[in-house]
Amino acid sequence: MPRFSGISVLGSFLPVILILFLFGCGGGGSTKPPVVASIVLSPSTISLNEGGVATLSATALNSSGGTIVADITFTSSNTSIATISSGGLICGGVWDASIINCAPTIGQGGVGQVTITATSGTTTATATVYVHEQVDRVVVNPLNGCVSMGQTIPASASVYSTSAPGCSPSAPCDITNTVGPISFSANNLTVAAESSGINPMFSSSTNTPTYVSGGTITGTKGQTCNLSNFGVAGSSGIDPTFSPATNSPTYTSGGTITGAAGQTCNLSNFNGVTGATATVTLTAQNAIASGAHLTITAEGSGASSPPTTATLSNGTATCSGTANVITALISTISPGQGVVGATATVALTGSNTIATGTQLTVTASGFGATTPPTTAMLSNGSATCSGTANVQTSLVGSGVFTAQNPGTTTIFTSVSGVNSVGTPYVTCPVISIVPHDAGSSNISFTLTGGGTQPLIADVLDSNDQHITPNLTWASSAPVAVTVAAGTGSNNPASLTGKAPGTATITATCSSPNCNVGLPPQFSQNAITATVPGTTAANIYAASTSSTTLIPISTSTNTAGTAITLPFLPNSIMADPAGANIYLGSSSGLMVVNTSTNAVTSQAVTGTIVAISPDSTYMLLSDSAANAVHYYNLSSQTFTNGGGQTSSAGYTPDTKSTEWVSGSQLATGTQVQFFTFVPLPNTASALGIGAQGGLTYITGTNPNQIDVFSTCNYTQAQTLTANSPTLVQAIPNGTGAVAADSPALDIVSTPGTVNQGCPITTSSTVTAVDLGAGPFSAKQLFFSPDSSYAWVISDLLELLGLNLQNSTPVAIKYANGATGLSGGITLDGSQIYVGGSDGLVHRISVASAADVQEIAVGLTDANGNLQVPNLVAVQP
């Protein structure tokens, strides 16, 4: 039988003694004791083996919900089955007089359900105790199929005793119906969890649920705003990747600075982030330009909203004070998910005002939360309201085991200290994502600069249920068009036009925040959005034999001030955000900031073959190490895959990458590197479809184009080809184009592919002879609006193909030059190609002519002119 020391028992009586002392002293004065309005017992149900001991906690509350000191007594409805001490210790049997030994009644005589009543004055509260025979084994009963997001999981368990009288390991006794309610949990609480909704009762002790701040409110005193879409804020550090689209993370203003242009200040103590540090470059004596880019040196952690201040300290300059900053947070997975179906109202206290700490009136508590929500959307009540509110909320105490985000995990339970073995469980995966205009089925838009376009995504799971999972929205050209996810029952997002150009917009459900541990589901279609106008950007020309980089502005089309590189480059690529130009080398990665032209280096070697759509990751092929480096540009760390490659790509959500080497397709994710899939031939190149669902791979021996389903890397189709080499996906999601001298092969895929995994939608291939004779393709790219495919080859002309009418185009280079390397501006109007004559040729798409040759003057260490065989166009 359990025994408890005198010290333990004394400790349990101390609160009661203290209460008696407080109310028994006073020397002749008298104080009226506070009135107990309610008593909260925790836990409300207890499961005990015969002879087991547990503690029941009792808290007295006043009418405002505040905790007060009060005398509380306990009684048991059946003292032969369970007794309780004055300190709240429950015995699954009978306590001795000293409350040290708990004497059980073994067998069925000691089994039963007992009510424990806590009393203070006239106020009472009850808890239920289930006393049962010894639990020796717990088994979660198998589940059939999957459960849709937001629905209750019909989990059940069987509980057995093998040690009670008449029971044995070979003949266990089923005692399930005696142990009381059985709760469940999961190894991944983002997939399945005990969930609940927001508490509809205001509590002054916890000050929840209350409104804090946020949103745009127009109204008068006495009017109300509605709140809905209660969500959970994440916990993360400041984003180390600068984004011109969000203008963050950037420095704004503040502090005392002494220094000169080119010197730096350190920033630390970012508000809300633990351990984050950064530097910022001075632009003049005692000056930091508003909007200057922060260089994040440590991301930190712990933030739920972007920091707005940081402390200045010495860098190479003398800095002190506090800086006001605009920052973005690293995207992380919250430990839980928001509340489904919760709504509330909040009263305005004045015109355009909601007072901090104002009580919410909860009109629907909802369900689905695993942690208290911290944000909610404002909408119209009797006032005009919009925006997001920061809220303090508490959860309804009684939760249910609920399917959370789509994915797989194991679920388990425990009773009386015995844990079950985990059982596989699936929240039904997403099998269909169809993004479109919020008000129609449109998937193609023209935006003005600063203009917006609302989108929604129709999302179905494998049970054919409409759900609202955590989708990853992405833009292929965030410099032109950004996309931001919203919250709501129709999976909303919003496009914003930023600068002239065309972008492809996709929505993906992929691990670790959607379809957790399951194959990803890509958009069945892609959205295109165009901002009309003329692009203003820079072209960068370099040579593998020169340590000089020459910028060319599209506004002047003349060579700018030369930039000195620390190493000889072997490759060049611009990131999609337009913030940096990267040059690979055998000595290190060179990073050129496009705003300042400052050059830094990072300790990773190889030839750059791909940069992720969110500008965070890079693949480099290192021939010296015979390895492909999967490189994190922010943390400057990498994981290696064996072999080498000259062709690689990322899926639109950045979560997965692929590259080919010999007769293998290598695949990897942010959490698993790498898996190798055998190919039916020797691969030449690959291109990942614009919406992500299909991968197109060219190969020889035999000569063919293979189409793979990206979600599980199974071969969907084999297309006949002559001798295909380079291949790229068409930006609008309608297939791919492969270089197949003397032709281009147009692989036509329907704009909307089938739902689920794998993708089996059939493609067709059409070879179009370009009429220029045999050629060796060096580079293949598209006009951003998908109107043309362009090929730089060993011929004396730039080859093109109008994809609308399959009409070839051949544009001769001036001076009898051949093209070496180049790219197209984001507005699709101009192509810049480094030529064998040492000049950069500007090609006008509209006139189909070489309209200008720009001298860049690249030289080697001996002063000899070198050809610009590395050219990149800034998005």
- Phi, psi (deg, nearest 5) at residue 601: -130, 150
Residue 233 confidence (pLDDT):
62
Q: How confident is the model at residue 293 (pLDDT cuts 50, 70, 90)?
A: confident
| Number of neighbouring beta carbons within 10 Å of residue 187 | 12
Buried b (16+ CB within 10 A) or exposed e, 487-515: beeebbbebbbbbbbbbbbbbbbbbbbbb
Hey, CA dihedral for 36, 37, 42, 43, is it positive or negative?
positive
CA 58 to chain centre: 41
Q: Please, are residues 607 and 570 in contact by the beta-carbon 8 Å criterion?
A: yes
Residues in Cβ contact with 775 at an 8 Å cutoff, skipping those fewer than 6 apart:
739, 741, 742, 791, 793, 794, 795, 799
Q: Which residues, 6 or more positions from 354, have their beta carbon under 8 angstroms from its beta carbon?
A: 211, 213, 215, 217, 225, 346, 347, 348, 389
* pLDDT tens string 512-535: 889 999 999 999 999 999 999 998
Distance in angstroms (rounded) separating the CA atoms of residues 681 and 697 = 10
- The reported pTM is 0.79
Task: Report the amino acid identity of residue 732.
Answer: N
pLDDT mean over 643-654? 96
pLDDT, tens only, 728-772: 999 999 999 999 999 999 999 999 999 999 999 999 999 999 999
- How high is the pLDDT of residue 63? 80
Kindly give, in sequence order, each residue whose CB lies less than 8 Å from that of residue 28, ignoring residues fewer than 6 positions away: none
Return d(Cα 875, Cα 554) in angstroms, integer: 12
**Separation CA 858–CA 867 (nearest Å):** 7
Structurally, at CATH architecture level, domain 6-132 sits in Sandwich (2.60)
Query: In terms of Cα–Cα distance, which of 452, 432, 430, 456 is closest to 443?
Result: 456
Output the six-digit token pair for 113: 């359900």
Predicted local confidence at residue 7, as pLDDT = 27
Q: Please, are residues 691 and 736 in contact by the beta-carbon 8 Å criterion?
A: no
Assigned token pair, 150: 């937001």
Lowest pLDDT segment from 94-103, 316-325, 464-473 = 316-325
Do the domains 6-132 and 431-531 sit in the same CATH topology, yes or no?
Answer: yes
Whether the predicted pLDDT of 28 surpasses 70: no
- Do the beta carbons of residue 63 and residue 204 sit within 8 Å? no
397: closest CA among 208, 141, 554?
208
Residue located via tokens 């992405």? 474
Give me the mean pLDDT over the 661-681 stretch. 86
CB of 395 within 8 A of CB of 201?
no
> At 875, is the pLDDT very low, low, confident or very high (cuts 50, 70, 90)?
very high
Interatomic CA distance for residues 178 and 164, integer angstroms = 13
| Residue written as token pair 């959370």 | 404
Q: Is the distance from CB of 703 to CB of 722 less than 8 angstroms?
A: yes
Nearest CA to 508 out of 526, 495, 486, 496 is that of 526
Residue 670 has pLDDT above 70, yes or no: no
Supply angle C-alpha 578, 580, 583, rounded to 5.
130
Report the share of the chain in percent with pLDDT over 70: 92
Give yes or no for a contact between 522 and 429, defined as CB atoms under 8 angstroms apart: no
Instruction: Give the pLDDT mean for 562-575.
Output: 98
Token pair for 163: 């040690």
CATH code matching the domain that covers 431-531, chosen among 2.60.40.1080, 1.20.120.350, 1.10.3470.10, 3.40.50.970 = 2.60.40.1080
| DSSP classification of residue 396 | -
Beta bridge mates, 90 = 54, 84
Higher pLDDT, 577 or 487: 577
Torsion, CA 98, CA 102, CA 106, CA 112, rounded to 10: 100
The answer to which of 100-109, 370-379, 614-623 has the lowest mean pLDDT is 370-379
Domain boundary assignment for the chain:
6-132, 138-194+403-426, 197-234+333-397, 250-326, 431-531
Q: What mean pLDDT comes out for the span 624-638? A: 90
Q: Provide the pLDDT for residue 602.
A: 96
The answer on pLDDT for 568 being more than 60 is: yes
CA-to-CA distance for 213 and 651, rounded, in angstroms?
38
Is residue 245 pLDDT above 80, yes or no? no
* pLDDT at position 397: 62
Q: What is the pLDDT of residues 822-869, one digit of tens each?
A: 999 999 999 999 999 999 999 999 999 999 999 999 999 999 999 999
What would the pLDDT profile of 688-697 be if each residue is shown by its tens digit? 999 999 999 9
Q: Is the dihedral of CA 215, 216, 221, 226 positive or negative?
A: negative
pLDDT band at 279 (very low <50, low <70, confident <90, very high): confident
Would you place residue 258 in the very low, low, confident or very high pLDDT band (cuts 50, 70, 90)? confident
